[in-house]
Amino acid sequence: MMEAAAQEKLISVINEKFEGEIIEARMDMDFFTFILKKEKIVDIIRHLYNHEETRFQYLTTMFAVHYPDQNQIAMVYQLHNLSANQRIRLKVFLPADNPSTPTLTTVFSAANWMEREAYDFFGVISQGHPNLKRILNVEDMLIFPMRKEYPLEDQTREDKNDLMFGR
């Protein structure tokens, strides 16, 4: 768990260059989590990467989460400062009808496949991505299957008896 002094330091590091971009900062499941405005997310991550007091230079993961009740998709970035062993989570919320954010491949080359996965399953467009196309699903698929607006199972299947599955 990150100490309160380290949390305040992170907030001040972001605010020194990006005043007003933090919507919320809180501890969430042992991660210090920032909810940020989406427009400058890549610049903020680059700042945290290069700043000598933070050095968050490892992208642990990046993923999308669909919130159908709010008609939003969150892009979540988890960063790690390996030398200080600190981890943080950054979130930006995008409208579900047009989820678009700048590409993070300019900071982390590993973001390439993670952004393609977010596009493939949730439809998140990473503006400026070098090769944004489906990575696991077929290219002519018309839906984004991990959005919660789609049923978990194929409702047209006739080869499955629900009684065999305890239903």
Structure tokens at 120: 């493939």
Residue 20: pLDDT above 70? yes
> For residues 45 and 54, is the Cβ–Cβ distance under 8 A?
no
Cβ within 8 Å of residue 23, ≥6 positions away: 35, 36, 37
pLDDT of res. 167? 58
Element spanning 50, H or E: helix 41-50
Residue 162 binned pLDDT confidence (cut-offs 50, 70, 90): low
Task: Report the 3 state secondary structure along 118-131.
Answer: HHHHHCCEEECCCC
Let me know if residue 147 belongs to a domain. Answer: no
**Residue-wise pLDDT tens digits, 54-91:** 999 999 999 999 999 999 999 999 999 999 999 999 99
Domain that holds residue 27: 4-111
What pTM, to 2 d.p., does this model score? Answer: 0.88
Q: How many CB atoms lie within 10 A of CB 110?
A: 15
Cβ within 8 Å of residue 30, ≥6 positions away: 1
Counting residues of the chain whose pLDDT is more than 70, the rounded percentage is 91
Q: How many domains does the chain have?
A: 1
**C-alpha to C-alpha distances, 14 to 22, 24, 101, 110, 163, nearest whole angstrom:** 8, 12, 19, 23, 55
What CATH number does the domain containing 60 carry? 3.30.460.80
Q: How far apart are CA 41 and CA 29, in angstroms?
A: 22
Cβ within 8 Å of residue 3, ≥6 positions away: none
Let me know if residue 127 belongs to a domain. Answer: no
> For residues 100 and 124, is the Cβ–Cβ distance under 8 A?
yes
pLDDT of res. 118? 97
**Residue-wise pLDDT tens digits, 95-137:** 999 999 999 999 999 999 999 999 999 999 999 999 999 989 9
Let me know if residue 84 belongs to a domain. Answer: yes
Helix, strand and coil percent figures for the chain, each rounded to 5: 25, 30, 45
